[in-house]
Amino acid sequence: MNKQEIKKLLRQFKSGEIDIDEAVKVLEDLPFKDLGFAKIDNHREIRGGYPEVIYCEGKTVEQVRDIVEFMLTKNKNILATRASEEMYRAIKEICEDAQYNKLGRTITIRKTPEEYTDSYIAIIAAGTSDLPVVEEAYETAKILGNRVEKIIDVGVAGIHRLFAKLDIIRGAKVIIVVAGMEGALASVVGGLVNKPVIAVPTSVGYGANFGGLSSLLSMLNSCASGVSVVNIDNGFGAAYNASIINKL
Amino acid sequence: MNKQEIKKLLRQFKSGEIDIDEAVKVLEDLPFKDLGFAKIDNHREIRGGYPEVIYCEGKTVEQVRDIVEFMLTKNKNILATRASEEMYRAIKEICEDAQYNKLGRTITIRKTPEEYTDSYIAIIAAGTSDLPVVEEAYETAKILGNRVEKIIDVGVAGIHRLFAKLDIIRGAKVIIVVAGMEGALASVVGGLVNKPVIAVPTSVGYGANFGGLSSLLSMLNSCASGVSVVNIDNGFGAAYNASIINKL
Amino acid sequence: MNKQEIKKLLRQFKSGEIDIDEAVKVLEDLPFKDLGFAKIDNHREIRGGYPEVIYCEGKTVEQVRDIVEFMLTKNKNILATRASEEMYRAIKEICEDAQYNKLGRTITIRKTPEEYTDSYIAIIAAGTSDLPVVEEAYETAKILGNRVEKIIDVGVAGIHRLFAKLDIIRGAKVIIVVAGMEGALASVVGGLVNKPVIAVPTSVGYGANFGGLSSLLSMLNSCASGVSVVNIDNGFGAAYNASIINKL
Amino acid sequence: MNKQEIKKLLRQFKSGEIDIDEAVKVLEDLPFKDLGFAKIDNHREIRGGYPEVIYCEGKTVEQVRDIVEFMLTKNKNILATRASEEMYRAIKEICEDAQYNKLGRTITIRKTPEEYTDSYIAIIAAGTSDLPVVEEAYETAKILGNRVEKIIDVGVAGIHRLFAKLDIIRGAKVIIVVAGMEGALASVVGGLVNKPVIAVPTSVGYGANFGGLSSLLSMLNSCASGVSVVNIDNGFGAAYNASIINKL
Amino acid sequence: MNKQEIKKLLRQFKSGEIDIDEAVKVLEDLPFKDLGFAKIDNHREIRGGYPEVIYCEGKTVEQVRDIVEFMLTKNKNILATRASEEMYRAIKEICEDAQYNKLGRTITIRKTPEEYTDSYIAIIAAGTSDLPVVEEAYETAKILGNRVEKIIDVGVAGIHRLFAKLDIIRGAKVIIVVAGMEGALASVVGGLVNKPVIAVPTSVGYGANFGGLSSLLSMLNSCASGVSVVNIDNGFGAAYNASIINKL
Amino acid sequence: MNKQEIKKLLRQFKSGEIDIDEAVKVLEDLPFKDLGFAKIDNHREIRGGYPEVIYCEGKTVEQVRDIVEFMLTKNKNILATRASEEMYRAIKEICEDAQYNKLGRTITIRKTPEEYTDSYIAIIAAGTSDLPVVEEAYETAKILGNRVEKIIDVGVAGIHRLFAKLDIIRGAKVIIVVAGMEGALASVVGGLVNKPVIAVPTSVGYGANFGGLSSLLSMLNSCASGVSVVNIDNGFGAAYNASIINKL
Amino acid sequence: MNKQEIKKLLRQFKSGEIDIDEAVKVLEDLPFKDLGFAKIDNHREIRGGYPEVIYCEGKTVEQVRDIVEFMLTKNKNILATRASEEMYRAIKEICEDAQYNKLGRTITIRKTPEEYTDSYIAIIAAGTSDLPVVEEAYETAKILGNRVEKIIDVGVAGIHRLFAKLDIIRGAKVIIVVAGMEGALASVVGGLVNKPVIAVPTSVGYGANFGGLSSLLSMLNSCASGVSVVNIDNGFGAAYNASIINKL
Amino acid sequence: MNKQEIKKLLRQFKSGEIDIDEAVKVLEDLPFKDLGFAKIDNHREIRGGYPEVIYCEGKTVEQVRDIVEFMLTKNKNILATRASEEMYRAIKEICEDAQYNKLGRTITIRKTPEEYTDSYIAIIAAGTSDLPVVEEAYETAKILGNRVEKIIDVGVAGIHRLFAKLDIIRGAKVIIVVAGMEGALASVVGGLVNKPVIAVPTSVGYGANFGGLSSLLSMLNSCASGVSVVNIDNGFGAAYNASIINKL
C-alpha cells in the first residue's frame, strides 16, 4: 500500500464513503501488507506455474498424504522431495496423476503443464552414484519450468568424457555440478565456463569422506571463481537456485 | 577450429597452397584450439572490461609489484586482493593511478573506465565488523563493471533496520549477504526476496565461531531455498559470482 | 543444622539428656546435613508438585517399568522422556492413568493435579519437523506446573508468520526457541523481545547439519544478547530451565 | 500505535485538525511502530538505566573513540567490551569519567548512577585464569543495574572451597558459572541449586581443550538440568542474560 | 639368554659337546630370545593367573567359537569382550563353564580359580546408563585377579551420593571412573583422592555429546592432576591398566 | 596419433585414397586421441591383463549384474569390489566362473589368466579385524597380475611377531600396511625398510577412533619418511597403487 | 576428625575445659574436616615433601612473583610450570635459590631436599622436539621425590634405538611415554612392558597433526592394553600421575 | 651377521684365535646386527649418496648449527629442512659451501656430488603459492640423487595449461602433485597418467580450508586410483617417497 492508496483511503473516509471502523481495519493491516510479505506469497504461492513443495524427510506417510490432499484442493502443481515409495503409493490412491522418480525420491503432480524456458540448466554429475541427487535436482528444475540437460558420469579421473560434452555445458545459462568423493569436478567445470556454477557436494564416498565433508570443503575452496555451493545432497536447493537465475 | 576450417586446410594442402609440414603443424595444435581453452582466455583475459586479478596473500611485496609491473604493460585494469598497505605503497611508486581500499585491502588500477550494468548487485552486511569482506566484494563488483548498492549493519538482532531497506534489496538483480557470528541474515534475506542470494560467511566472532565455521554451516543449512554459499571471508568470489549472474 | 542446634545438642549432652554415643552419632552426620544436600532433595523430590523424572534412552522396557512401579508407591507425578510406545504399553498395564505423547515420546502420570503459574512459557518452533522436541518441552513444562503457549512453523524463511504472533511471544515470561537447520530463529526472536530466550538446537536437517551442529553453533554465536543454549534436541532441559525462571 | 490512536488520528484528519499529508506521514510509519520495534528500542536504548554497548574487537582505536564521542552526546551510560588499554587512553582524553577494568577489558562511563536490584547475581569461577571473563560479566551486570557477588577459584578439584560458599550461591536469584578446562563446575553447581545457571565456557586450557571446545561440550552435556550455555568467553552475554532474569 | 648362557654354549662347542651347526642354530635365535619378547609372552600368556583375551567386535560367531575352542586346549582362563549373546550360546555348547555378563557383554571361562589381591580397585560410575562399561571393567578386573568395589549412580548432579561413598573410594589402591555426558565425575573424584584415577569416557548421551567426545575431552582437560584417560567405552583397557597398578 | 600418422593421412587424402569427409572425420577426433586419453584407455582397458573394475557400493544388485553382463561381452577379466553375497549369487547365474572372496567382498572373473610379476607386493596387517581390507587389496593385486605375500596379525603391541617376518617384508618391492586403531604399524614398518610403503588406515576400532580418523592421522603424521597414505579402508586403491609401482 | 576426637571434645566441654562457643566453633568446621578435604590438603600441601605448584600460563609476571613471594613464607618447595624466562628473572630477585629449566619452562625452589624413591619413573621420548614436555615431566617428578631415568630420541622409525634401552625401561615401576606426530611409541612401549604406561601426546608436528590431535587419538586407540593418556603436552600431569603410582 | 660369520667366529674361538670374552662381546650384539637395523643404517646413513637430514622446526639456531658442525666431520652431504635464514647465516659461517633455498627453506651442503638417475620425478603444482612446498620437495629430490622436472601453476581452473605439459608429466617415472585449496589437481593428474602419483596437500587457502584440511580430504578421496597422500605441506616426505620409487 503506497502513499496514493493511503491518501485515497483517507479521502474515502472523510467523504463518508467508508466508516471509521472500515478505515481502521485496513490501516491496522498496513505493516504486513506494506512490508511486502504478501508480495513474496504472490511470487511463491499464488503465481500459476509455481508448485507447492513438501519436504518429506521426518514426516509420516499419513502426514504427507494429508498435506497433499489439502494442496490438491488448490489445484496447483505439487513437488514432494525425499519421498519414500510408501508415500508415493499412499498419494497415488488419492491422485491418479502422481508420478514417482524412484532414484530421485520425488513425487510430482501436475495440474497445470509448466511452460519451459528457452535457456536451459545443465546438470553435470561425476558418477552414477550421484544420480539420486541429480534426479532430485532434475525433477525440481523441470516442475519449476526450466529446460534441463543432464550430463552424467564425467568425473575428473577420465576428463576426456567431460570435454566431449563441453558444447552442451557451455550452452547452458546456469550449471549445476553434482559430485561426491573429492568434488574436483566443480573446479574443473568452473574453470571451463563463464556461467554461474552451483556446486552440490554429495555424500557419495566412504572413510575420509566423512559424509560429504570432503567434497563440501573442496567445493567451498574451489580455485575457480564462479562457483557457489549448497548443502550436501541438496539437489532441490541447487535446482531452485538455478531456476531463479535461469529466469532472470 | 571447426569442420569448415579443417576442410579448407585440407583443400589448401591438396592444391599445394601449403606444404605437408605446414599442414601437420596446424593439425597438431588442434586439441587445445578446439577444446575452446583459448575461448576461456578470451572471456577472462583478453576482453576489454575484464581486469587482471592478483591474490596477494602469501606473496611478498616484491612479487606483487613485479606482477603488477608486468600487467601494466598489457594496459588492462588490475585488481589486487588481500593486499597490504606496504604492497600498495610499492605499487604506487610504479603506477600513480593505483588506489587502495584500506578496509577491503584491495588495490585497483583503472586503465579503461568500466561500463556499468543497469541492474545492480546489493551487498548486505550484518555488522560493521563485516566491512572488510563487504569492501572486497564492492571493489571486485565495481571493477567488473557492476552497479552496486551497499546496505550495512542490518543484522537480524534488530530486524527493523533490514526491513527499512527492503525496497533497495528487492530491486537488485542479485544479492550478496555478508554475515559472521550465526549468519542468520542469509536465511532472513533469502526468505524475503525471489532473487539469487550469494551468502558469504565471515570469520567475525569468537569462541564457538571457530573461525567462521558457525556462519558457514548456518548458511549451508539455510531454510530459505535461493541461497548458495562461498568460502569464509571470500568477498571476491561472491562478487565475481554475482557479476556473472548480473550480466546474464 | 545451625549454630543454635549444635549448642542445644551440646547442652543436652552436658545435662545428661543424651549420652556421648548419641551425641557423636548426630555430630558425625553433620557434613551431609549441613551442606544442605537434603535441602536439594527437598526441592527436587519431596515438594508436592515436583514430578519424578526418568530418562528412558538406553534403558530396557523392563527397567523403565520397574522404576515406574517403584515411583508409583510414592504417589507422586511422573514424567518419562525418550520413551518408546512399547514402554508406554508396559506402563499402561500397571497404571491406568499413564498418558503418552507420541510425537514428544513422553509418558506422564498425574497423581496430584499441578497448579499452573499465571505467567507463561512460550515455545516457538521453526518447522513442523521440530515438533518432537517441542512436545517434549511442552509436556515437561506442563507437568512442572507452567502455563505454556506453543507457536509452530514460524521459521525465518517466512518471517511474516513470526510477526503475526509477536504479541503472544512478548507476553511470555520466558521463551523457548526450537530450531534445526541454521537455527536463525533464536537470533531473530532474541532481537525482538526483552525476555530470557532458551534456544534448543535440533538435529533436524541433513548434510552439513552434522546432527544438529550447525544450529548449535548458530545459536551459541547469536548476535542477540539474551539467548542461552541447551544441548541438541534437549526439549526437557530447556523446559526445566524455563520452569525455574518462570517460577522465580 | 493502537486502534484508539488510529481512530483519533482519523478523526483529527476528518475534522481538519491535521491535513492529509500529516496523516499520511504518520500512517506510513505504522509498520515499524506497530511491529513494536520501537518498543525494543525503548527498552534497549531510550530507558534511563540502560547503557549503550560497544563491542570493540576488530575495531580501530579511532573507530571506538568516535562511537563513544557520539554516544556521549546522548548523555547515557556506556559499556565498551573487549577494549584495549590504548582504546581506554583515547577515550579518557574525551571523557574524564571513563573507567577501565584491565582484566575484564571493559571501559565504563556512568552519566546516571544505576539503581541496583535487591536480588543478586552470583558469578562463580573455577580458577584465577577465568578472571578476564568474570570481570567482563561483572562490569556488564553492574552497569545493567544488578547487585553481584563474585566467588572465585572454587574449581571442582578442591570441591570443599565451593561448599564453603554454598550459602552465597544459593542466595542468588540467578547464577553465572565461568569455567575452562573440563568445565565440570557448571554441573556440580547445577546439582546444588534450584536457580537458573548460565554457564560460560572459557578458552582457558591447552591441548585437547581446543580453544574452549572441551568446556563448551561439557557444559552442553551437563547432567544437571537447570544449566544453559552461552558462547566461549562470552562474559557479556551471560551477564546480559542473567540481568534479564534477575529483573523479571 | 644372558652372558653366562652364551659362555656355557661356547664352552660346550669348544669341548665338542655340541657341533658347529647346533651352536649356530642357537645363536641365530638370539635376537628374539634376548630382546625379551619371550619374557613378555611369559608375562602375558604363560603365567598361570593370566587369562587369554578375545576382542569379539567384528568377528563372526564361528570365528569366536573356533578361537575359544583352541584356547580351551591350553587349559587357561578366558575372557571374551564385546561378545553377543549368540556368541555366548555357541561357546556354551563347547564349554559348560562359560558365563555371560549380559550388560557387560563379556564371556568368562575359569579353568583355574584366580587369587585375589588384598588391595582393591574401585569402579565408580556416574549413572546407570554407564553400566555396560562398568561391567566390562568389572569382569576384566576380576578375572585378572583383583578385588573390586563397584559404586554406581554417583553423578555430580547429586554430589552428596558420591560423598556418602568416600571411604570406600579412598580405601582403593586405584580408581576407575566411568562417566558419559560431561564426564565431570573424573575431576571431582580426582580432587578428592590421592590415588591414581583412570577415567573412562562413555558414549552415553546425545546431541553435542558426539559419541563420547564431550566426556573424553572433559576428562583429558581435567583440572585434577591424578587423572589419566583411556578410549571411549574402553572398560577392558581401564581395568587392565588398573590391574597392573593394583599389583605393583 | 603422431606426426607420422597425420602425414600419412594427408598423403592418403592427397592421393585420393580417402575422400575429404573421411579425412575430416579422423582429424576431428584428434583432440582426444592426441591428448593421450585413448592411451590411458589403452593402458587401463584394452591391454590384456588389465581387468574391468566395478565399485558396487550404492549400486543395486540389478545394476551390478547388468554391468557385469555387458563387460562379459568384451571377454576381459573383471573385479567387483564392495560386493554383497547377493550380488555374487546374481552374477554366478550369468557367469559360472565368478569367484567370491567373502571377507574381502570382491567378485573376480578371469577370462585370461594373469601373468604374475617376479617381484612381489607384501601386504602386512596389524590384526585379524583388518582382514576385509587385506583381502580386498589381495584380490586387487592378484588380478592386476602381481605376486603377493600376506603377513597378518603383526601389530606393534607384540612387535616380535613383526620381526619374525622381516625377511619377507624386506624382500618385497612395495609394501602395503593395513592397520586400524592407532595405525602405528605403518611407522614401524616404514622405519625398517627402504621400500615404498603404502599405508591403509582401517575403520577398525571404536570410540576415539572416529571411524578410522585416528589411524588416518597417525599414518599421515608418520615419522618414517617413506610412507604415503590412501583413504580409510581403501584396500583397492592401495593395491592399485602398489601394482603401478611394482610394475615400474 | 574421627569419632575419638569428637568424643574427646565432648568430654572437654562437659568437664568445662572448653566453653560452649569453643566447642561450637570446632564442630561447625566438621563438614570439611571430616569429609577428608583437610586430608587432601594434608597430602597435597602440608606434608613435607610435597611442593606448591603454580601453573603460570596466562598469568602476568607480577602475579607469578606475588604468588611465589607468598609461598616462600610457608617455607615449602615450589614448582612453577609454563614459566617464561622473564618470570624466572623476577623470582630470582626475591629468591636466590630459584632454578630455571629453560627447555621445560619450569622454575623450582627447594627449601627442603626431597627424598627419592627407590623405584624409578622412566620418561621415554620419541624425538628431541619432545624435550620441552620431557623436561616439564622430569622436573615435576623430581621435586615430587621420584628417581627418574630419561631415554630420549627413541622414536619408532629407528626402533633398534628403543630396544637398546629396553632394560632400563623394563626396570621402571611406571613409564611415561612422550611422543608427537603419530605417537606410535606409546603402543610399541606398551607392548614391550608389563608396567603402567602414561602416554603424553605432544603438539610436535605440523599439518594433519592438528596441534597434537593425531598423537592424542593414536594413544587413546593404542592396541597395547596398559596405556592411559593425559592431555596434549601435559608433562606435569603425566609426572604427577606417575608419582602417585610410583609411591603406591 | 650371517650364518657364515657366526661359524667363522665359533671356529676362531675354538682355535683360540679369540678368547671367550671377545666372542661373547660380539655375540651379545647379534640382536641388533642381525635384525638388520644396521642394514638400514647402511642404507640411510653410510651409503655414499645419502645425505644427513635435519628437520629444523622447533630447534634453536644454536642446536641446528651444532648438529651441522658434527655432521660435517662425517664428510657427507647434508639437507636441512624448515630452516630459517638466520640458521643459514649461522651455518654459512662454519661451512662456506652451504646453500639456501629461501622459498623452500632448505639448506644444502654437498661434499660428494650426487649422481642423478636417468628417470625423473615430475613435481607439479597448482599455483605459485604452493612454491615453498615445491622447492622443499625439489631440493630433497635433488640431493637424494634424482633428476627432477618442475611444472608450476597448472591448477585445474585453467586446465589447458596442464595439458600443455602432458608429455613431460607422462615421461616421469613418478609424479608429485602439490596443491592447496581444493586439491583437485591430484585427481585430474591421477586420471591422466599411469604412474604413481604422490599428492601433497598444502595449507594454501583460507576460511573453510582449515589449514590444509580441504585439500587433504580431497586428495584422500580422489576418484583416481593411483594417488597416495602425505602430510599437509610435507614436500620432504613426498620427495623422499618418490626417490625410493624412482630408484626401484
Summarize pLDDT for B140-192 with one digit per residue, the tens: 999 999 999 999 888 888 787 888 788 899 999 999 999 998 899 999 999 88
Predicted confidence at residue B36, as pLDDT, reads 36
DSSP assignment, residue A194?
S
Given this model, what pLDDT does residue C45 score? 38
Does chain E reach chain B with at least 3 CB pairs under 8 Å?
no
Q: Which residue has the cell 589381495?
A: F138
Q: What does R_g of chain F's alpha carbons equal in angstroms? A: 22
Residue B208 contacts C where some CB pair is shorter than 8 Å: yes
Q: Which residue type does D84 have? A: S
Question: Residue A14's pLDDT is what?
Answer: 87
Q: Which of F40, F196, F240 sits opposite H241 (nearest CB)?
A: F196
Subunits next to F (3 or more Cβ pairs <8 Å) are A, B, E, G, H
Among D159, D207, D210, the residue with its CB nearest the CB of G233 is D207
**10-residue stretch averages of pLDDT, chain B, 248 residues long:** 73 88 71 37 41 86 88 87 96 95 95 88 91 96 95 84 86 96 91 93 89 93 91 96 95
Q: Which chains touch A (3 or more CB pairs under 8 A)?
A: B, C, D, F, H
Portions of chain F given CATH number 3.30.1370: 31-109
The DSSP element (H or E) to which F178 belongs, if any, is strand F174-179
The predicted pLDDT at position H221 comes to: 92
Question: Quick one: cell of B84?
Answer: 597490504
Q: Is B92 helix (H, G, I), strand (E, B) or coil?
A: helix
The pLDDT > 70 percentage for chain B reads 90
Q: Is G24 on the interface with C (CB under 8 A)?
A: yes
Residues F167-212: tens digit of each pLDDT: 899 999 999 999 998 899 999 999 888 899 999 999 988 888 888 9
Residue H26: predicted pLDDT: 72
Digit-by-digit pLDDT tens for chain C (248 residues) are: 556 777 888 888 888 888 888 887 777 555 444 443 333 333 333 333 578 888 898 788 988 898 898 888 878 899 999 999 999 999 999 999 999 999 999 999 998 888 898 999 999 998 888 999 999 999 999 999 999 999 988 888 878 788 878 889 999 999 999 999 889 999 999 988 889 999 999 998 888 888 899 999 999 999 888 999 999 999 999 999 999 999 98
Q: What's the confidence (pLDDT) of residue B210?
A: 87
Question: Do F and G touch, counting CB pairs below 8 Å (3 needed)?
Answer: yes
Contact yes or no, F with C (3+ CB pairs under 8 Å): no
pTM, two decimal places = 0.85
For G162, nearest residue in chain H (alpha carbons): H32
Interface contacts B/C by beta carbons within 8 Å: 126
F198 at the H interface (CB within 8 A)? yes
Using CA coordinates, name the residue in chain D closest to G232: D207
State the pLDDT at residue H135: 96
Taking an 8 Å cut-off on Cβ atoms, the answer to whether G160 and H58 are in contact is: no
Intervals of chain D under pLDDT 70: 1-3, 28-49
Q: What is the pLDDT of residues B10-29, one digit of tens each?
A: 888 888 888 888 887 777 65
Within a 13 Å sphere around the CA of D113, how many CA atoms are in the beta-carbon half? 2
Q: Determine how β-strand A197-201 pairs with β-strand A174-179.
A: parallel
CB atoms under 10 Å from CB of F72, counted, come to: 18
Evaluate whether A187 touches A227 at the Cβ level (below 8 Å): yes
D57, B129: Cβ pair inside 8 Å?
A: yes
Instruction: Chain D: give the shortest CA distance to residue G9, in Å.
Output: 23
Q: Report yes or no: F98 at the H interface, CB cutoff 8 Å.
A: no
CB F84 within 8 A of CB F105: yes
pLDDT in tens, F143-171: 999 999 999 888 888 787 888 788 899 99
| Architecture category of domain C31-109 in CATH | 2-Layer Sandwich (3.30)
Do A8 and D5 contact (CB within 8 A), yes or no?
no
Q: Which residues contact E21 (CB under 8 A, 6 or more apart)?
A: none
Which one of C5, C27, C33 makes the best mutation probe of the G interface by having the most chain G beta carbons within 10 Å? C27
Secondary structure in 3-state letters for chain E: CCHHHHHHHHHHHHCCCCCHHHHHHHHHCHHHHHCCHHHHHHHHHHCCCCCEEEECCCCCHHHHHHHHHHHHCCCCCEEEECCCHHHHHHHHHHCCCCEEECCCCEEEECCCCCCCCCCEEEEEECCHHHHHHHHHHHHHHHHCCCEEEEECCCCHHHHHHHHCCHHHHHHCCEEEEEECCCCCHHHHHHHHCCCCEEEEECCCCCHHHHHHHHHHHHHHCCCCCCEEECCCCCHHHHHHHHHHHHCC
Residues 112-141 of H with CB under 8 A from B: 128-129
Q: pLDDT for G90-120, tens place per residue? A: 999 999 999 999 999 999 999 888 889 899 9
Q: Give the integer Cα–Cα distance in Å for E145 and E148.
A: 9
Question: Which of D12, D14, D22, D39 would best serve as a mutation to test chain A binding (most A beta carbons within 10 A)?
Answer: D14
> Taking CB atoms and an 8 Å limit, are E40 and F208 in contact across chains?
no
The whole-angstrom distance between A115's CA and the closest CA on chain C is: 27
Residue ranges, CATH 3.40.50.1970, chain C: 120-246
Q: Is F207 on the interface with G (CB under 8 A)?
A: yes
What is the fold, at CATH topology level, of the domain defined by D120-246? Answer: Rossmann fold (3.40.50)
* Residues of chain E scoring pLDDT < 50: 31-48
- Which of B205, B209, B224 is the closest to C157 by Cβ? B224
- Point out the residue among D163, D164, D207 whose CB comes nearest to the CB of G212: D207
The counts of H helices and E strands in chain A are 12, 9
Q: Per the CB < 8 Å rule, is B182 touching C214?
A: no
Chain C interface includes D2 (CB < 8 A): no
Q: What is the pLDDT of residue E119?
A: 96
Top residue of F130, F160, F163 to mutate, by most chain E CBs within 10 Å, is F160
Using CA atoms, how far apart are residues H186 and A1, in angstroms rounded to an integer? 58
Interacting residues of A23 by C-beta distance below 8 A, sequence separation 6+: A9, A10, A12, A13, D6, D10
The pLDDT tens digits of the residues spanning G122-145 come to 999 988 889 999 999 999 999 999
Rounded alpha-carbon distances, angstroms, from residue H111 to D234, G172, H136, H148:
59, 44, 20, 20
pLDDT of residue H148: 97
Is the Cβ of D234 closer than 8 Å to some Cβ of chain B?
A: yes
Compute the distance between CA of residue E228 and CA of residue G199 in angstroms, rounded to an integer: 9
Per the CB < 8 A criterion, the answer to whether G108 and G74 are in contact is no
Confidence at residue E35, expressed as pLDDT on a 0 to 100 scale: 40
pLDDT in tens, chain H (248 residues): 556 777 888 888 888 888 888 887 777 655 444 443 333 333 333 333 578 888 898 788 988 898 898 888 878 899 999 999 999 999 999 999 999 999 999 999 998 888 898 999 999 998 888 999 999 999 999 999 999 999 988 888 878 788 878 889 999 999 999 999 889 999 999 988 989 999 999 998 888 888 899 999 999 999 888 999 999 999 999 999 999 999 98
Nearest to B7 among F7, F20, F31 (CB): F20
- Pairing relation of β-strands H120-125 and H147-151? parallel
Interface partners of chain E (CB pairs < 8 Å, 3 or more) are: C, D, F, G, H
Instruction: Confirm or reject contact between F24 and chain B (CB < 8 A).
Output: yes
Average pLDDT of chain G to the nearest whole number: 86
Dig out the grid coordinates for C193 from the structure. Answer: 523481545
Q: What is the pLDDT of residue B74?
A: 77
Pairing between β-strand G106-109 and β-strand A99-101 as defined by DSSP bridges:
unpaired
Q: Is the pLDDT of residue G180 over 50?
A: yes
Residues (pLDDT < 70) of chain A are: 1-3, 28-49
Element (H, E) at H93: helix H85-94
Q: Reduce the DSSP state of residue D130 to 3 states and report it.
A: helix
Q: Which pLDDT value is given to residue C9?
A: 83
F31 touches chain B (CB under 8 A): yes
Q: Tell me what pLDDT residue E113 has.
A: 83
CB < 8 Å to B195, chain A: 244, 248
Which member of E182, E210, E213 has the closest CB to residue D184?
E182
Of B163, B207, B210, the CB nearest to D234: B207
Residue F40: pLDDT band with limits 50, 70, 90? very low
Chain C meets chain A (3+ C-beta pairs below 8 A): yes
- Chain B CB contacts of A227 below 8 Å: 230, 237, 241
